[in-house]
């Protein structure tokens, strides 16, 4: 998925594979996904990360959250995951524009910008997007998930 803000800040997240390709017997380990991320703030240096940061069912949940936001449905104001690398939060809503703040922790931070523990809430980008942007992002995530679907233990 790519979310491109009205100010040209970009966030990209792609599922690139399972962390453990051939594992059996452990539902959690069988469903960890490696993601590639790219963050390009309009006024700062861009960075990339690769990490097993999300579970298959969390990708599904994030897709549903984005779709619900796009449809104007009531949703939790934030979406986070077991691994505390990324957190999505709604910080503003206008008539047509939704402001999503994405927080970066642990391995999703730029090289040399590590914190001692997750939850510092000191590194984020704000993305001003519309419903079409959110629907496209959700669809892209579902496409990634189709390549790496949930696996049974």
- Domains belonging to the chain, first-starting first, are 2-147 (3.30.2450)
| 115 pLDDT higher than 70 | no
19 vs 42: CA distance, rounded Å: 31
Three-class SS of residue 63? Answer: helix
| 106 pLDDT higher than 80 | yes
Q: Which residues fall within 8 angstroms of residue 84, CB to CB, at 6 or more apart?
A: 105, 106, 118, 119
pLDDT given for residue 118 in this prediction: 54
pLDDT given for residue 145 in this prediction: 97
pLDDT given for residue 117 in this prediction: 57
Three-class SS of residue 104? Answer: strand
Among the residues of 16-152, which ranges form H helices? 27-30, 56-70, 131-147
- Find the mean pLDDT for residues 10-25: 92
């Amino acid at each position: 998925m790519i979310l491109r803000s009205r100010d040209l800040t970009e966030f990209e997240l792609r599922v690139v594979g399972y962390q453990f390709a051939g594992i059996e017997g452990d539902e959690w380990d069988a469903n960890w996904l490696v993601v590639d991320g790219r963050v390009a703030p309009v006024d700062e240096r861009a960075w990339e990360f690769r990490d097993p940061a999300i579970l298959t069912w969390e990708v599904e949940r994030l897709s549903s959250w984005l779709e619900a936001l796009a449809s104007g449905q009531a949703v939790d104001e934030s979406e986070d995951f077991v691994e505390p690398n990324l957190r999505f939060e709604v910080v503003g809503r206008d008539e047509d524009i939704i402001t999503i703040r994405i927080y970066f922790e642990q391995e999703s931070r730029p090289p040399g910008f590590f914190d001692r523990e997750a939850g510092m809430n000191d590194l984020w980008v704000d993305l001003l997007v519309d419903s079409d942007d959110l629907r496209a992002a959700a669809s892209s995530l579902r496409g990634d998930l189709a390549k790496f679907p949930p696996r049974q233990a």
